[in-house]
A and B are shown apart, each in its own frame.
Chain A
């Protein structure tokens, strides 16, 4: 026998850690999706696709701006000591991914704004006609546009990777403690972003291209998930127990049904049929991918907190 009783009963810590509620997964999801959107928009700018007047690289940056701000607001809501939030920007803590993230976000906004300025939406230029002049001048400099593309791609990668690194540096939570988590979050961010662009693209070719890209991202995501579990299952006991939480344990039904089934396999099948012109493109598959990406973050954050070096005493 092995029994442990504790008199500790701290809120949101005992019997299992549930410190981070809905705000963190929502933030990680929006951050990841915006990262993917920055990479896609950046690539369009870099590759010269922006010359097509209905290229979605003109609408994605503003959406990214709004989504990221919503994500940051969720993060702000999560802080227990809100009046001190400015403290993040009076220091740089080299070992803290959260500190890195705070400073990366400071660079992400100018990158998004530079992208928006290349061709701001008409409802903005009607209010601020000066912006049209600026846009006109910027468009005359292809070199500048290329660099804005690169800037967006690089920062998108950093943003997408950091959302995973934030969790994976926590050795205390065995489920998160995998060096593949940032790859999973980056690929999942790319796939949800591609799904979104596929959904809204006005240009048929672009929609088709993004559906194909999304299929690729979904396949890679499945592969990374398999690798992540292989890594955890061949580690120490706490890591094996953590992986089992998702594979066969408490979180298994949600993981298999919503993340793997409805979030990856079924939309992948639908989109494969669509790109092969067997069925029409519909919003169903991309919406499933986006919701699957959100649920993935919820499951990883929640199950990660549940996983523990010493979980046995709470079973």
Chain B
């Protein structure tokens, strides 16, 4: 089974929010809510200051506290690519998964169910890229199978230094940031 993930080049991301708007449009994300967002992190000591701009979303982790705490099975791991999804009709809106995600990547949709990034699985299953990847004007986002050594994402990870987010939390995120 493939393991879908993203590799995002932080040297190219300019924080233009195109991905955010594309996601909102593609997935009908309700007003005032975000499935993806931009983080600007600055660190270091003057004059040696670094700035990293990155686009963030659900990390479609390999260890999923959000799935294991769900009492109805609504949160689940999809058979295609290990993508983490929520079946709206099964979700009772108990919010346990929202609490369980260390990235705070989920929210409660105004219609009552837990919602978050789906890696645009409806597009991916048709052979298309996720909407955010598709629109990125700097081509900083890459989507593919992390378990396939010949995929673009694997090759990028082999060629550059990278990090993932809050790996101490033990969820094994599947989104990587090239530095």
Contact = CB atoms under 8 A, between A and B. Distances in A.
Interface string B129-167: 000000000000000000000000000000000000010
Interface string A134-166: 000000000000000000000000000000000
Interface residues of A, number: 47
A4 B104 CA distance: 15
Nearest to A100: B71
A297 to B, nearest CB: 15
B175 interface: no
Given A84-B90, A93-B73, A98-B69, A171 B98 contact: no
Given A80-B108, A81-B92, A310-B166, A17 B39 contact: no
A315 to B, nearest CB: 15
B90 A87 contact: yes
Interface in B17-58: 17, 20, 32-34, 37-46, 49, 56
Contacts of B42: 1-4
Given A5-B39, A98-B94, A171 B65 contact: yes
A91 B74 CA distance: 10
B99 to A, nearest CB: 6
Q: Among A82, A93, A97, which residue has the most Cβ atoms of chain B within 10 A?
A: A93
Interface string A177-220: 00000000000000000000000000000000000000000000
B1 interface: no
Contacts of B94: 78-80, 98
B45 A1 contact: yes
Interface in A1-41: 1-14, 17, 19-20
Q: Identify whether the interface residues of B are mostly helix, strand, loop, or mixed.
A: loop
A164 to B, nearest CB: 15
B137 to A, nearest CB: 17
A1 B44 contact: yes
A11 B107 contact: yes
Q: Among B20, B68, B113, which residue has the most Cβ atoms of chain A within 10 A?
A: B68
A3 B108 CA distance: 28
A305 interface: yes
A102 B111 CA distance: 23
A11 B32 contact: yes
A96 B34 contact: no
Q: Identify whether the interface residues of A are mostly helix, strand, loop, or mixed.
A: loop
B72 A14 contact: no
A238 to B, nearest CB: 8
Given A93-B71, A93-B73, A98 B96 contact: yes
A93 B71 CA distance: 6
A85 interface: yes
A8 B168 CA distance: 22
B95 A78 contact: yes
Contacts of A170: 65, 69, 99-100
B2 interface: no
Given A3-B42, A84-B92, A87-B74, A19 B69 contact: no
A244 interface: no
B125 interface: no
A85 B168 CA distance: 34
Given A2-B43, A78-B94, A81-B93, A19 B34 contact: no
Interface of A: 1-14, 17, 19-20, 78-82, 84-85, 87-88, 90-91, 93, 95-99, 101-102, 169-173, 236, 238, 305, 308-310
15 contacts: A1-B42, A1-B46, A3-B43, A6-B56, A11-B33, A12-B108, A78-B94, A79-B94, A81-B92, A84-B91, A87-B72, A172-B65, A172-B169, A309-B166, A309-B168
Interface of B: 17, 20, 32-34, 37-46, 49, 56, 65, 68-74, 89-96, 98-102, 104, 107-108, 111-113, 166, 168-170
Given A10-B34, A11-B108, A81-B92, 16 more contacts: A1-B46, A2-B43, A5-B39, A5-B41, A10-B104, A11-B107, A17-B104, A20-B95, A78-B94, A87-B92, A93-B70, A93-B71, A93-B73, A95-B68, A310-B102, A310-B166
User: 9 smallest A-B Cβ distances: which pairs?
Assistant: A80-B93, A81-B112, A81-B93, A8-B37, A98-B71, A95-B68, A99-B71, A172-B102, A80-B112
